[in-house]
């Protein structure tokens, strides 16, 4: 009996750390910025399956959001509307520029009437940027993943529901960039994307979510009005820092309970 009680308590403790069901729900007036990368099935033995959300799962998520009264915005719209946003507003962000964003994500965005912000790396081909974060992430998995061609990016923009944002020139690790190189990554990517696609680029995504405090003002200097991080959470538009916006991580390794917890509280586990 005692052993069973102990085992039960242990299981409850473990579940409560893994799934922070006890965390209070974040205010419905605080927008959820959902962070996606690839929309594809997980691959056996792959390192980055957390970045792959299956088409079936994202469809279930978008259907649930629609059926429960959530309204979709681009990141720039969220920042511009700020305190006048309706309850239950959210943004979909797609980082890096994977080809499946066109083939798998766009049809679902259109089916469920959703907008998205595509954070594109300008020089995204034949580049193994995962080693910039951790040297041993040198398997080339993300480098081999097909990327959107410029023509495919244009097709996404032509759909009318996608905002273009910058994810830097090279997906550099900004922790290692001096201020001159930082300015260059920020300004060049904005200028090139605007010239190439003929749209304003007003928002930026920090590569790997890594940067130093003194780099934040350079984003504004380069002409952006917002930037997203990979820090998890949701915030009040009255108090958020537009150049350091938190996001809700949507992981390909999550089950449905985890998605619902992340949406409700901004994160899954206790940390």
Q: Which residues bind Zn ion (CB under 5 A)?
A: 95-96
At residue 23, the 3 state secondary structure works out as coil
- Kindly tell me which of 95 and 100 has the beta carbon lying closer to Zn ion: 95
Enumerate the β-bridge partners of residue 232: 247
CB of 170 to Zn ion, least distance (A): 11
When CB distances to Zn ion are compared, the closest residue is 95
- Kindly tell me which of 34 and 261 has the beta carbon lying closer to Zn ion: 34
Enumerate residues 6+ apart whose C-beta is below 8 A from 244: 216, 227, 229, 231
Task: Report the C-alpha gap between 91 and 184 in whole angstroms.
Answer: 28
Token representation of residue 11: 């299981």
CB of 86 to Zn ion, least distance (A): 29
Asked if residues 229 and 241 have their Cβ atoms less than 8 Å apart, the reply is no
At residue 38, the 3 state secondary structure works out as strand
CB of 231 to Zn ion, least distance (A): 14
- Kindly tell me which of 32 and 247 has the beta carbon lying closer to Zn ion: 247
- CA–CA distances in Å: residue 184 to residues 70, 96, 177, 179, 219: 38, 18, 10, 9, 11
CB of 29 to Zn ion, least distance (A): 29
- Kindly tell me which of 147 and 262 has the beta carbon lying closer to Zn ion: 147
CB of 97 to Zn ion, least distance (A): 9
CB of 83 to Zn ion, least distance (A): 29
Query: Residues 122, 56, 167, CA angle at the centre, nearest 5°?
Result: 15
The bridge status of strand 226-232 relative to strand 162-166 is unpaired
- Kindly tell me which of 96 and 145 has the beta carbon lying closer to Zn ion: 96
- Kindly tell me which of 165 and 237 has the beta carbon lying closer to Zn ion: 165
- CA–CA distances in Å: residue 108 to residues 98, 155, 166, 179: 15, 15, 23, 40
């Amino acid at each position: 009996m005692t052993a069973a009680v102990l085992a039960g308590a242990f299981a409850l403790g473990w579940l409560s750390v893994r799934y922070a069901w006890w965390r209070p729900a974040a205010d419905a007036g605080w927008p959820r910025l959902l962070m996606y990368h690839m929309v594809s099935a997980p691959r056996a033995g792959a390192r980055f399956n957390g970045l792959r959300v299956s088409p079936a799962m994202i469809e279930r998520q978008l259907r649930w959001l629609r059926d429960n009264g959530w309204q979709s915005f681009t990141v720039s719209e969220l920042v511009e509307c700020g305190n006048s946003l309706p309850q239950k507003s959210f943004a979909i962000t797609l980082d890096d520029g994977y080809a499946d964003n066109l083939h798998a994500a766009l049809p679902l965005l259109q089916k469920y009437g959703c907008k998205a912000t595509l954070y594109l790396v300008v020089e995204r081909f034949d580049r193994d940027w995962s080693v910039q974060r951790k040297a041993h992430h040198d398997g080339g998995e993300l480098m081999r993943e097909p990327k959107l061609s410029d023509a495919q990016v244009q097709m996404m923009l032509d759909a009318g529901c996608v905002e273009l944002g910058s994810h830097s020139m090279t997906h550099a690790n900004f922790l290692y960039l001096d201020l001159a190189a930082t300015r260059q990554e920020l300004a060049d990517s904005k200028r090139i994307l605007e010239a190439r696609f003929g749209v304003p680029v007003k928002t930026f995504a920090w590569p790997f979510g890594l940067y130093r405090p003194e780099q934040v003002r350079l984003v504004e200097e380069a002409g952006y009005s917002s930037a997203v991080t990979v820090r998890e959470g949701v915030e009040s538009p009255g108090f958020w820092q537009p150049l350091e916006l938190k996001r809700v991580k949507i992981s390909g390794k999550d089950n449905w309970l985890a998605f619902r917890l992340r949406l409700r509280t901004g994160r899954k586990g206790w940390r």
